[in-house]
Amino acid sequence: MIIGELNPHLRLLLGPGPSPVHPRVLKAMSSHVVGHLDPDYLAVMDDCQQMLRQVLNTRNRVTFPVSGTGSAAMEASICNMIEEGDTAVICVNGVFGERMADVAGRYGAKVIRVDAPWGRPIDPQDVKKALDAHPGAVLVGIVHAETSTGVLQPMEEIGEICRKHGALLLMDCVTSLGGVPVEVDKWGVEVAYSGTQKCLSCPPGVAPITFSERALGRARERKGKVKSWYFDVTLVEKYWGQERVYHHTGPISMSYAIREALRVVLEEGLEKRFARHALASQALRAGVEALGLSMFAQEGFRTPTLNTVTLKPGVEDGAVRRRLLNDFDIEIGGGLGPVAGKIWRIGMMGHGATQANVVYLLSALEVIFRQMGYTGSVGSAVAAATRVYAEAVS
């Protein structure tokens, strides 16, 4: 049996990730593969570290892309900071807060949850109460932009609370990095991690991570070894640092990819990039509301990178998303957990956050809504979105 040539559909990826990959990134990935200690590759590693510091707004020396996806970076962050019996305060207002709590428990932490309803941010005073009640807590973990709900978490007050209590602040910025401001040093974040497949418009496979010197001190002063050899930062930092001690074979082509993706980000400029994401989200919101739908995440705490839309009664979640995929080659995401079947998750991330994509998605929804007989202001969604863009130019 001869297996045919690979030919996946060309989809417009407007779900929760991956996002559309920039053509320059795909081109970079086709470059010659060299050895993981070749001078050419070492130069790529240095470039990645330098640009990641700029995008994360940090001076942390140990800042590099983990070999693995965003969830690998989550595990790398936690396994280095947590020892058996440590107390960790984990903030949970969606799937990825839940995952962080799960991972911390697996590494032996006594997990103290700070919960908020899905669609709402964590109250900083609840974090303070948890730390007051557990003064020995070594870590506070929180998601900056919750991919399951579209909530963008304010960080400065929580960072100040952690500083006063002596707890390390760990931040998941998987869905925020490159799409909204991420200020690691300013916010007092000691460990942060992200992914490439969201606002960086790079395929999944490596994941940015950064450790402050204080966090590194904790990793080095542990009573026992980090349980994960692969993610032990005290070993990996020697590969990424001046020593260049072999640790594992780096993902060469993915390193080329993130290097080019970061170049694209910085060439555009962070402020211009943030404004582009915000405008795309604003136009999308105007369009879906014209269709009679509403936004799920609490107003004032919505991330423009991942827009959660509440479905009105009678709108068939799966049927509409299948039509989008099969008839228009557009992917959007459905809800997870308690909001499965109740919301859509629409990504406006990186290379995908454009006027053309907003208009195409809304026009497709208008066609589908009309064909499926849904009532509402069908025909006005594209007009509402284009007005947002027109007014932004004028």
Query: Cα–Cα distance between 325 and 331 in angstroms, integer?
Result: 6
Q: What is the mean pLDDT of each run of 10 residues along the chain (394 residues)?
A: 94 98 98 96 98 98 97 98 98 98 98 98 98 98 98 98 98 98 98 98 98 97 96 96 93 98 98 98 97 96 98 94 98 97 98 98 95 78 96 82
Helices (H) and strands (E) in the chain, counts: 13, 15
**Which pLDDT does position 375 carry in this prediction?**
66
Domains of the chain: 21-267 (3.40.640.10), 270-393 (3.90.1150.10)
pLDDT of residue 191: 98
What distance in Å separates the CA atoms of residue 248 and residue 321, rounded to the nearest whole number? 41
Q: What pLDDT sits at residue 98?
A: 98
DSSP helix/strand/coil, 123: coil
* pLDDT score, position 374: 85
Helix H or strand E segment including 217: helix 213-220
Residue partners of 207: CB distance under 8 A and separation at least 6: 65, 66, 68, 69, 70, 72, 73, 174, 193, 194, 195, 196
Q: Kindly state the helix (H) or strand (E) to which residue 289 belongs, with its residue range.
A: helix 270-290
Q: What span, in angstroms and rounded, lies between the C-alpha atoms of 199 and 330?
A: 18
- Decide if 382 contacts 287 (C-beta within 8 A): yes
Model pTM score: 0.96
What's the pLDDT at 377?
60
Give pLDDT, residue 130: 98
- pLDDT tens digits along 62-92: 999 999 999 999 999 999 999 999 999 999 9
CA distance 166 to 60: 19
Residue with tokens 């070594």: 138
